[in-house]
């Protein structure tokens, strides 16, 4: 592990000096100069620039996953402004299809699914909200560090609002994209399988390493051990899945004044009916008591069950209740 920590992925970032290639006329910026220097080292030269029609087709497929429309092609071919290429790239980045294409890539990373898999394959409610969240996040160019925070602990950080809903908390949905058996025989084993999958997805997606290997042993070449695995396990074991409210708290109180007015108007409307019903209750209780005293202990098989019940709704209810209480078997008489 000590030697593994010396590998280049675990070293601090540094600023390498910009190389000076033999012929820098092709370079437009420092990135091109790095490319040219690598080509010089292998005695290679850059390929010729693609023509405009090829360029827009490549750009559209790369960024949007779709071919450009004939109108897009004609417009780009006719655009002779010096920054025509930059404008074209900006148009592609501003398209909603950009988030759809690259959000799908990230869905593969976090194992997006709308069901839990296994033989029951039960539905995973509201998974589509995470899908739409990804599309919006890519299209809004959410900073990557914020994007990671929303995934790992979006329910604990400050909200990021969109259309009245907290986007940050939706990021945590990726923790639920695991195989999940709802009625396991061995509950503890199922818990281990779920958390192990969560750690595996998290470490591969955000660290480009398989931390789940350290469940059984320290990594042989990476500076990660079983202590790291079980520290992460403890965090997830002490957490719980929940259905979060996305709307801002004020949404749930903005109609309170209207509800209070309705609440104050209801009692006068129902008071006459309620008073009338209360006046009839003593007589109905007496009728029910009289019926109970004369009820048959055994229902007559020859007569339909419905005919042996009182017609008055209140007496009918008491009759059913008392027969059931005395264990009189009348289910066989039901149609």
Q: Is 84's pLDDT higher than 90?
A: yes
Q: What is the pLDDT of residue 295?
A: 54
Residue 149 near residue 157, CB atoms below 8 Å: yes
Q: What is the pLDDT of residues 192-213, one digit of tens each?
A: 999 999 999 999 999 888 888 8
Q: What is the pLDDT of residue 213?
A: 86
Give the Cβ contact number of residue 137 at 10 Å: 23
**Least reliable range by pLDDT among 85-94, 195-204, 240-249, 286-295:** 286-295
DSSP string, 257-321: HHHHHHHHHHHHHHHHHHHHHHHHHHHHHHHHHHHHHH--SS--TTS-GGGGS-SSHHHHHHHHH
H/E stretch holding 162 reads strand 161-162
Q: What is the pLDDT of residue 14?
A: 86
First to last CA, the chain: 76
Mean pLDDT of 72-81: 96
Q: What is the pLDDT of residue 313?
A: 72
Mean pLDDT of 123-130: 90
Confidence of residue 79 (pLDDT cuts 50, 70, 90): very high
Q: What is the pLDDT of residue 305?
A: 61
Look at 237 and 309; give whichever has higher pLDDT: 237
Q: How many CA atoms lie within 13 A of 299 on its CB side?
A: 23
Q: What is the pLDDT of residues 141-161, one digit of tens each?
A: 999 999 999 999 999 999 999
Q: Is 334's pLDDT higher than 50?
A: no
Q: What is the pLDDT of residue 265?
A: 92
Q: Is 100's pLDDT higher than 60?
A: yes
**17-26, 113-122, 130-139, 285-294: range with highest mean pLDDT:** 130-139
Look at 250 and 139; give whichever has higher pLDDT: 139
How many helices (H) and strands (E) the chain has is answered by: 12, 2
Mean pLDDT of 239-258: 88
**44-48, 62-66, 325-329: range with highest mean pLDDT:** 62-66
Residue 308 near residue 330, CB atoms below 8 Å: no
Could you give the CA distance from residue 224 to residue 2 in angstroms, rounded to a whole number?
A: 10
Confidence of residue 44 (pLDDT cuts 50, 70, 90): very high
Confidence of residue 69 (pLDDT cuts 50, 70, 90): very high
205: exposed, middle or buried (C-beta count within 10 Å: 0-12, 13-18, 19+)?
middle
Q: How many CA atoms lie within 13 A of 168 on its CB side?
A: 16
Residue 143 near residue 177, CB atoms below 8 Å: no
**Least reliable range by pLDDT among 44-58, 135-149, 184-198:** 184-198
Q: Is 9's pLDDT higher than 70?
A: yes
Q: What is the pLDDT of residue 331?
A: 43
Average pLDDT for the chain: 86
Look at 199 and 10; give whichever has higher pLDDT: 199
Q: What is the pLDDT of residue 224?
A: 85
Could you give the CA distance from residue 174 to residue 131 in angstroms, rounded to a whole number?
A: 10
Mean pLDDT of 252-260: 90
Question: Domain-by-domain residue ranges, the chain?
Answer: 96-251, 255-333
Residue 60 near residue 72, CB atoms below 8 Å: yes
């Amino acid at each position: 592990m000590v030697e593994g920590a010396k590998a280049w992925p675990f070293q601090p970032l540094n600023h390498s000096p910009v190389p000076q290639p033999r012929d820098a006329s092709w370079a437009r910026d420092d990135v091109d100069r790095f490319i040219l220097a690598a080509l010089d080292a292998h005695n290679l030269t850059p390929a010729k620039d693609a023509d405009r029609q090829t360029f827009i087709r490549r750009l559209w497929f790369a960024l949007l996953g779709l071919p450009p429309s004939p109108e897009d092609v004609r417009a780009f071919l006719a655009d002779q402004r010096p920054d025509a290429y930059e404008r074209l790239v900006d148009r592609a980045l501003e398209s909603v299809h950009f988030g759809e294409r690259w959000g799908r890539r990230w869905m593969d990373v976090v194992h997006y699914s709308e069901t839990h898999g296994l033989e029951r394959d039960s539905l995973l409610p509201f998974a589509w909200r995470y899908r739409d969240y990804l599309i919006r996040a890519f299209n809004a160019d959410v900073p990557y560090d914020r994007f990671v925070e929303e995934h790992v602990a979006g329910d604990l950080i400050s909200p990021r609002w969109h259309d009245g809903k907290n986007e940050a908390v939706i990021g945590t949905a990726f923790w639920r994209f695991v195989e999940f058996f709802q009625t396991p025989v061995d509950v503890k084993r199922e818990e281990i399988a779920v958390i192990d999958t969560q750690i595996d997805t998290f470490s591969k997606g955000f660290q480009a390493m398989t931390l789940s290997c350290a469940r059984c042993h320290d990594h042989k070449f990476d500076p990660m051990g079983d202590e790291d695995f079980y520290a992460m396990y403890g965090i997830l074991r002490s957490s719980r899945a929940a259905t979060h409210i996305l709307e801002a708290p004020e949404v749930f109180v903005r109609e309170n004044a209207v509800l209070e007015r309705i609440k104050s108007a209801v009692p006068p409307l129902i008071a006459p009916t309620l008073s009338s019903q209360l006046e009839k209750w003593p007589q109905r209780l007496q009728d029910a008591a009289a019926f109970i005293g004369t009820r048959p202990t055994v229902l007559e098989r020859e007569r339909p069950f419905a005919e042996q019940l009182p017609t008055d709704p209140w007496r009918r209810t008491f009759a059913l209740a008392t027969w059931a209480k005395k264990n009189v078997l009348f289910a066989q008489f039901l149609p």
